[in-house]
Structure 1
Amino acid sequence: MKSLLYKLHANPKYARAFEWGKLVSVTGSAQMLVQGIALISGIFIIRLLPTDEYALYTLANTMLGTISLLADGGISTGTLATGGKVWQDPVALGKVVVTGMEMRKKFAIASLAISLPILFYLLISHGATWMSSTLIAVSLIPAFYAALSDNLLEIPLKLNQDITPLQKNQVAANIARILMLVASLFFLPFTFIAILANGLPRIWANIKLRKVGERFADYSQGSDPEVKREILKMVKRTMPSAIYFCVSSQITIWLISIYGNTASIAKIGALGRLAVVLTIFTTLFSTLVVPRFARLSDDPKVLLSRFIQIVLLLFGMSALICGFVYLFPSQVLYILGKNYGDLHEEILLITISGCIGMVGGITYSLSVARGWILPPAVHISVSILAQALLIYFMDLSDTTNVLMFSIINVGIGLIMSSFYFFYRVLKHNS
């Protein structure tokens, strides 16, 4: 038996399988814990906040995601792609990350200036007072500050595949988050309290993450003009898409906030909390697969083979998830409480939308990791045309129609990103 195990470990193919099995088991178990805690935190928020407060929380949390994307503007993908070329050199990698951090701070000011007035308008239009709106806006700042740096600080660990410290950091942040939520919302069930409890633990975790990453990146380095130019090249190509994605990624909430009512916002927000389970798979792929895909040689056959394997695996997982929700909707909705127990059709639709969005997002990340950016003129024009037609022909005051809109929207994105990858591989091969 021992000799058989030794032979298996000595075989390169089996050795690689064992390595992947170890990585997936470590990362997967940690992510299940992280997302499990995140799901429990979300359920606490849903159950402890009144429906009208939870609707405001959904709007604020959606805007947080939007301004974080806008402040990124493609900087994180540019930093990952540039860092992938020098990942074995701590000094060079440190320059790349520091440069990305400085660029993102400048983008953050413009992002806040654009987004906060819009948030105020939406909050006021859905019943928030000026005092409540101000407290919510101020409470977003710690979470926004944390979002500016966490995914950049993860890059050295991801590129060097030092996954365990990264997972420990995420677990610690989520445990601190749920403790703050439980301790505060029982006594002060307000939106701004829930948002503060989300942001403060992440700031603490980022301080720890920076120290861990110093093994692979020298953060004492200054910003490098050449690195900045390299990242800006990708930012210029991705910025139009990033701005568009800021709106389109949360278009379900935006449409409901415009055409629907406060109760509909709360329903969509609550259902979206269950879709957090998909984050386990997204994080697994972004942590383990995308950085390794960025390091592959420029062999078209290898790139095409790996891409097809990844996409088929994603579709297989999506089918299992959607099948489970279809068979057991009542059991899934029980988690949210009695206020949301009758949303059987809606939970299936939002799961399908989330799965298609997950596959589309990962295929896009794979292309970007190779430095292949779908031309914004094509991507945005096709998407906006499709969305305009859907808005014209669909009754978007109905929650079900909004979710169908979301499915079609993310489906178009998946088709475009996949076809563009195949086009670039074939072009490179010729």
Structure 2
Amino acid sequence: MKVLVQRIYENNKLARAREWARLLTFTGTLQVLIQALGFTCGILVIRILPTQEYALYTLANTMLGTMIVLADGGIANSVMAQGGKVWRDRDKLGTVLATGYDLRKKFAIGSLLIAVPVLLYLLRHHQASWLMSCLVVLSLIPAFFTALSGNLLAVGPVLHQAILPLKKNEIIASAARLVLLVVTLFIFPWAFVAVLIAGIPQVWVNIRIRKMTNQFADWSKQPDKEVRDNILAFVKRIIPGSIYYSVSGQLTVWLVSIFGSTIALAQIGALGRLSMILGFVSALFGTLIVPRFARLEACKKMLLSRFLQLHGGLLIFFMTILLATSAFPEELLFILGSSYAGLSKELVLSVAVSCSSLAAGFLFSIAASRNWAINPLVSIPLTLVAIVSSLLLIDISTLAGVLKFNLFVSASEVVMYFTYCVLKINKIQ
């Protein structure tokens, strides 16, 4: 009997391994295509736009990321966590999504009111005319609202692991963006055109995802007070940190945009484009890992085992990327064009910053998927200590110095979130 039980256990492990291999191969292949299309779009924008216009484009994209974080405030993570508890019940999942969607719209207005004046100031600071500044801001709004909606619309399919339709939509949207860029950017090489094109295909994608989501969640449900209270309780714990990290997460760009030149701003944006390969593992993480981690039973041994396995694999992946970048910096810079040659040291630092920031983001997502929110009275002071310490130790008057500063800060966040997650898992009875 003991032998039989052991064989069943080994067969289950083998079956799980095969299932994960199939999922990773299937999803990875589709994601490679998506990343290839996105990378091509990014390089096309870098090579076509003049340096001044690309600097404005970098500013707009950075502000877009900040606006999305502010408008979300932890809502998407809380919806994922609550949806993970009722994902099999179409009515209850529909109530969770409808409530999150209603809250998200209100938060979005507040985000716009805060971000638009700041973006206008920075655009004017980098010699953009009033007309160009207004056009960049207006072009950002469609991308902002479609990105916000897309995050919530995908919760149902992601929880049910309906990966193929989601990835097909992403591939079509990426291909459409590439075609639009080729058609328009050679004629109108302006930053606002590139920003606007990024949001247009996503409108079509959101319509498709909403139709697909109907089989998993009932969108006719009304927002529920109890669900809203649960979401807001989580948001209240996390929003101070969200506001802080919406700034610190793009600290490199903000420092360069305020204290650096327009050329340096374009350079930091261009170097960041070469880190887009990391979007591959980021997409796999968000699509396959976070939803499954949210659905795991509250078993200390299993959660800790999965957590350590996951981050061990990420560490190996990031080290491989860094070694490859260090070995071939000139070849990678050639892709960006002659305007960005001679930035080998800065390229390696930029990729290191991206790896570290992604690791911190992954740890945050893992915690949020279980409704764990580190107290901002703990996280913000710890990060401020890291910022002040790095400012005392590092000269940030150069692009390399700013990158070293950001690497130091993001690495401290990795340590903080890793420690927090392990402590939360160990508290499980």
* Common topology (TM > 0.5): yes
Q: Contact (CA 8 Å) 1:260, 1:396: kept in 2 or not?
A: no
Q: Distance in 2 between matches of 1:110 and 1:132?
A: 24
* Residue segments in structure 1 that go unaligned for 5+ positions in a row: 1-6
Equivalent residue, structure 1, for 2:349: 349
Equivalent residue, structure 2, for 1:159: 159
Change (3 A) 1:377 1:401: same
1:189 counterpart SS class: coil
Equivalent residue, structure 1, for 2:360: 360
Q: Give runs of aligned pairs for residues 11-410 of structure 1, distance below 5 A.
A: 11-410=11-410
Provide, for residues 41-91 of structure 1, a one-character-per-residue CA deviation record: whole Å limited to 9, x for no partner. Answer: 000100000000000110011101111110000000010001001000111
Q: Distance in 2 between matches of 1:396 and 1:116?
A: 27
Q: Distance in 2 between matches of 1:393 and 1:129?
A: 38
Q: Distance in 1 between matches of 2:373 and 2:120?
A: 34
Provide, for residues 136-163 of structure 1, a one-character-per-residue CA deviation record: whole Å limited to 9, x for no partner. Answer: 1111111011012111111101111111
2:378 counterpart SS class: helix
AA aligned to 2:193 is: I
AA aligned to 1:186 is: F
How far has the Cα of 1:19 moved from its partner?
Answer: 1.2
Change (3 A) 1:146 1:138: same
Equivalent residue, structure 1, for 2:4: none
TM-score by length of 1: 0.96
Q: Distance in 2 between matches of 1:390 and 1:261?
A: 22
Q: Distance in 1 between matches of 2:381 and 2:128?
A: 35
Asked whether 1:416 is paired with 2:411, we answer: no
2:427 counterpart SS class: helix
2:86 counterpart SS class: coil
How far has the Cα of 1:393 moved from its partner?
Answer: 4.6
Q: Distance in 1 between matches of 2:358 and 2:137?
A: 29
- Aligned-residue Cα RMSD (Å) equals 1.5
Q: Distance in 2 between matches of 1:324 and 1:394?
A: 26
AA aligned to 2:127 is: G
Q: Contact (CA 8 Å) 2:90, 2:216: kept in 1 or not?
A: yes
AA aligned to 1:17 is: A
1:85 counterpart SS class: helix
Q: Contact (CA 8 Å) 1:145, 1:203: kept in 2 or not?
A: no
2:336 counterpart SS class: coil
Q: Distance in 1 between matches of 2:69 and 2:53?
A: 24
How far has the Cα of 1:428 moved from its partner?
Answer: 2.3
How far has the Cα of 1:13 moved from its partner?
Answer: 1.8
Q: Distance in 1 between matches of 2:56 and 2:308?
A: 41
Provide, for residues 297-334 of structure 1, a one-character-per-residue CA deviation record: whole Å limited to 9, x for no partner. Answer: 11111111111100100000011100100111111111
How far has the Cα of 1:225 moved from its partner?
Answer: 1.1
Q: Distance in 2 between matches of 1:328 and 1:380?
A: 37
* Residue segments in structure 2 that go unaligned for 5+ positions in a row: 1-6
1:334 counterpart SS class: helix
Q: Contact (CA 8 Å) 2:166, 2:209: kept in 1 or not?
A: yes
2:416 counterpart SS class: helix
AA aligned to 1:374 is: I
How far has the Cα of 1:392 moved from its partner?
Answer: 4.7
How far has the Cα of 1:386 moved from its partner?
Answer: 2.0
- Aligned-pair identity (%): 45
1:187 counterpart SS class: coil
1:298 counterpart SS class: coil
Equivalent residue, structure 2, for 1:4: none
Q: Distance in 2 between matches of 1:358 and 1:62?
A: 15
1:297 counterpart SS class: coil
Q: Distance in 2 between matches of 1:13 and 1:385?
A: 44
Q: Distance in 2 between matches of 1:27 and 1:377?
A: 39
Number of residues paired by the alignment? 423
Q: Contact (CA 8 Å) 1:304, 1:425: kept in 2 or not?
A: yes
How far has the Cα of 1:385 moved from its partner?
Answer: 2.6
Q: Distance in 1 between matches of 2:359 and 2:306?
A: 15
Q: Distance in 1 between matches of 2:11 and 2:381?
A: 50
